Amino acid sequence: MALYSEKVMDHFRNPRNVGVLDDADGVGEVGNVKCGDIMKIYLKIEDNIVRDVKFETFGCGSAIASSSMATELIKGKPLEEVMKLTNKAVAEALDGLPPIKMHCSVLAEEAIKAALKDYYEKNDIPYDKSQFPATPTCASCEIG
Ligand code: FES
């Protein structure tokens, strides 16, 4: 059986929403200390909705596929829904990741949360701090 699903390979080879948003309302960058991979997410937000999203990922294929899928999943969505996006949902949408690569999808969830937090703070919007990791890094990563 192939280690990676067709969807993972597709999003790795043809990643969606790669790039930078110069006028982003929120930017989140997280890194995995063990493997050194870095993910940056840019959000354009209007009327509480993600109007546009771009990413830059310097990392493994699973991290690139996770970033690509995560950006597709949050585009056009209200922020309340974006907050609920989990790394498991990203992995499921990719038809699964090998267990040793699940931590790569955690980066996508954390980068999006970091970008949302940046947006809330820049705009003085009150938010529930308990829903955000204190230090946005790949906390669940045990494997480099
Ligand atoms: Fe570092 Fe995948 S995010 S190995």
φ/ψ of residue 16, rounded to 5: -90, 150
User: Using H for helix, E for strand and C for coil, what is the string for 10-54?
Assistant: HHHHCCCCECCCCCCCEEEEEECCCCCCEEEEEEEEECCEEEEEE
d(CA 89, CA 50) in angstroms, rounded, equals 18
Residue-number span of the structural domain to which 33 is assigned = 6-123
Indicate whether 17 belongs to any domain: yes
Indicate whether 143 belongs to any domain: no
Indicate whether 59 belongs to any domain: yes
When mean pLDDT is compared across 97-101, 112-116, 139-143, the lowest value belongs to 139-143
Per-residue pLDDT at 143: 47
Indicate whether 134 belongs to any domain: no
Per-residue pLDDT at 38: 96
**Summary mean pLDDT of the chain:** 92
Does position 139 have pLDDT exceeding 90, yes or no?
no
Q: How far is the CA of 121 from the centre of ligand 1 (A)?
A: 28
Q: How far is the CA of 103 from the centre of ligand 1 (A)?
A: 7
Q: How many CA atoms lie within 13 A of 66 on its CB side?
A: 34
Does position 137 have pLDDT exceeding 90, yes or no?
no
Pocket of ligand 1 (CB under 6 A): 32, 35, 37, 59-60, 62-63, 101, 104, 107
Instruction: Tell me the CATH number at 85.
Output: 3.90.1010.10
Domain total for the chain? 1
Greatest Cα pair distance in the chain:
50
Indicate whether 132 belongs to any domain: no
Per-residue pLDDT at 144: 40
Length of the chain in terms of residues written? 144
Mean pLDDT of 49-62: 97
d(CA 131, CA 76) in angstroms, rounded, equals 21
- Testing ligand 1's pocket by substitution, the residue of 8, 12, 37 carrying the most ligand atoms inside 8 A of its CB is 37
Per-residue pLDDT at 141: 53
Indicate whether 82 belongs to any domain: yes
Indicate whether 131 belongs to any domain: no
CA dist list (Å): 52 to 18, 43, 76, 77: 11, 6, 7, 10
Helix (H) or strand (E) holding 39: strand 38-46
Q: Which atom of ligand 1 is nearest to the CA of 37?
A: 1
